[in-house]
Structure 1
Amino acid sequence: MAIQNAINASTARPTLVFGATGRQGGAVARTAIGKGGSVRALVRDPASVAARALSAYGVEVVRGDYSDPASIRAAMKGIDRVFSTQPNSGSAGSGLTDADEVRYAKLVADLAVEAGVGHLVYSSASIISQGPTGVPNLDCKIEIEDHVRRLSIPWTIVRPSTFMELLATPDFWPRPDLLHFFAGSKDPVEFIATEDIGKIVGAILERGDRFAARTVNIAGDLLDGEKIQTAIGKELGQPITFARFPDTLLEQHPMLQRTVQLFAAGRGAGNADLTALEHEFGRLTRLEDWLSGTGGALLCSVRGS
């Protein structure tokens, strides 16, 4: 009974999750709730469909915004742990500049220190592991990481690899049988399912001392385009073609072109130790697992099938 009470006390420590209406934050919130924890989420619109779904799941939803420091301060009252992720300034529709992303991430970190939070986990990106990339919306995370490492509270940086969910991006499917991507057919790419980000971050928050002052690159599978093409074709029951974004498109979008160059240079792989990760966190999602689960349905929806 004493052991169980200690476990319950550990998992019940309140966690504030940023980005909880998105994939990463949502996965972290669900994992923490699933472990019996108490989760608070800062959202812009508590009446939104995504926010109401969080409430139904048991998450305490509070109104707030990165541009309103007072709302973040209020959300951090009584909080022991914080998961910090911001909308990527490079994502379509984010409405953020690179400077915004840096400013908001630093603000969350500084207010966590001010509130005396016991542990901050910041989500970055594995592709910066080998140094600057030349892509501003990626390299801005280097500045944020440097700031987090100087904090006076325990911190951990997680660097997710390429999301498996990107394979179900509508704009990447110009035809139902053609998938365009950053990598070519022979380029190795490390992938992570966003649910595994929740699993890994949940374990890090639960065992904070073990991961304090560590940077952890995370991935669940290592694939090239040929393997992706085969796996998706098998799941869909029909052949598809996997190809790098065409030159005509890259010529119009310099940052996309630079990203493709990074993958061609191997920067999308060689960052995470998959064997060590599975030893630490248990089995992680392979592409086939993802496709047979949520991924297959996502692909069908974006392809109109």
Structure 2
Amino acid sequence: MSNAPEFLVFGATGQQGGAVTRALLEAGRGVRAFVRDPYSEKAKSLAADGVSLAVGDLFDRASIDHAMKGIRSVFSVQTSSPSGLLTDEQEVEQGKSVADSAVSNGVAHLVYSATGAAGKGHTGMGHFDSKSRIEDYVRSLPITTTITRPASFMEMMMLPGMGLNTGVFNYFMRPDQSMQMIALHDLGRINARILCQPDLHAGRVIELSGQDITGKDLQEAFSRAAGRPIHYQRFSEELLSENNFLKRLTALVDNGVVAGIADIAALEREFGPMLRVEQWLSGPGKTLFENALSAEPSGIGLR
């Protein structure tokens, strides 16, 4: 790529940052990715695609400052505590450090990706409340910002242990209960558009989702895609009583905090058509779905 990097992307070897990086590359824009290990397979793949690598650590402010040099806009996302890699306080520390560095280095625009559960009051789940705290901090700084709040990723449904390989898919909502979801492809292209058009999105908080979908809808879509019956059921009460993390998440789906409140029609008017789960299953999610169908039995993939 001949373009000098305009955009610095954090989390570029992960799901969200990776999706944003791909979308920016497809738009012909120059990208710099902040990576800890330049020799990892994902980092080497980014470099092969023309991405400039800035090597550093999110606990090392000097390395963040170095990566910011000459950058116009930043996409900021941090790892959450359910990964087991850091605490909620450390996530907040990292989010603040990225934002402070952007201000200090004269970056024009910061896009912070939070979660659909952010900004809706105290949830009692640290990895959601941490993002609300980062949002509040980002908004307090003298820099142009946009905050995006993605709904649950369609890709999350393909985590091990959800039951597709047994013909019984288990998830959070009741069969007739609706929950919003978004494909990472759409998350990536929308955030990339925002980065490329900062004046249109300055100061906005944008809830992101691609579809309202029920358990019954998933049952029908999965069955058609698999070519055989896939039954949908909510996580069992027995499992929820044993797994406090899933129990608390399910309660937040029930009370609406995690169910999603995006105006999907308005998003489509502004950013174009969003992938529905059927399209995702035959497109970006096809390999993930096929792998989940044929996976060896395992425990629930959510912590």
Shorter-normalised TM-score: what interval? over 0.9
Asked whether 1:73 is paired with 2:95, we answer no
Q: What does residue range 119-134 of structure 1 map to in structure 2 within 5 Å? A: 119-134=109-124
Cα distance in 1 for partners of 2:260, 2:95 equals 26
Runs of 4+ displaced beyond 4 Å: none
Using the TM superposition, give the Cα deviation of residue 128 of structure 1 relative to its aligned residue in structure 2, in angstroms: 2.9
Asked whether 1:58 is paired with 2:50, we answer yes
Asked whether 1:49 is paired with 2:41, we answer yes
Secondary structure of the residue aligned to 2:38 is coil
Q: Percent identity?
A: 43
User: Which of 231, 239, 248 is the equivalent residue of 2:221?
Assistant: 231
Aligned to 2:250: 260
Aligned to 2:239: 249
Asked whether 1:37 is paired with 2:29, we answer yes
Deviations 1:95-147 (A, max 9, x none): 11111111100110011101110100000011234322221111111111100
Secondary structure of the residue aligned to 1:83 is strand
Secondary structure of the residue aligned to 1:126 is coil
The TM-score with structure 1 as length reference comes to: 0.92
Secondary structure of the residue aligned to 1:122 is strand
Deviations 1:151-189 (A, max 9, x none): 101000000001000111113227431222122212211
Deviations 1:249-293 (A, max 9, x none): 222222321110111223333510001100110111111110001
User: Which of 266, 271, 277 is the equivalent residue of 1:281?
Assistant: 271
Asked whether 1:144 is paired with 2:134, we answer yes
The number of equivalent residue pairs is 293
User: Which of 132, 145, 165 is the equivalent residue of 2:155?
Assistant: 165
Aligned to 2:183: 193
Cα distance in 1 for partners of 2:228, 2:164 equals 16
Q: Which amino acid aligns with 1:178?
A: V
Cα distance in 1 for partners of 2:282, 2:288 equals 11
Aligned to 1:5: none
Aligned to 1:6: none
Q: Which amino acid aligns with 2:292?
A: V
The TM-score with structure 2 as length reference comes to: 0.92
- State the Cα RMSD in Å: 1.6
Aligned to 2:299: none
Cα distance in 1 for partners of 2:141, 2:25 equals 27
Contiguous gaps of at least 5 residues in structure 1: 1-10
Cα distance in 2 for partners of 1:270, 1:90 equals 20
Using the TM superposition, give the Cα deviation of residue 300 of structure 1 relative to its aligned residue in structure 2, in angstroms: 1.4
Using the TM superposition, give the Cα deviation of residue 242 of structure 1 relative to its aligned residue in structure 2, in angstroms: 1.7
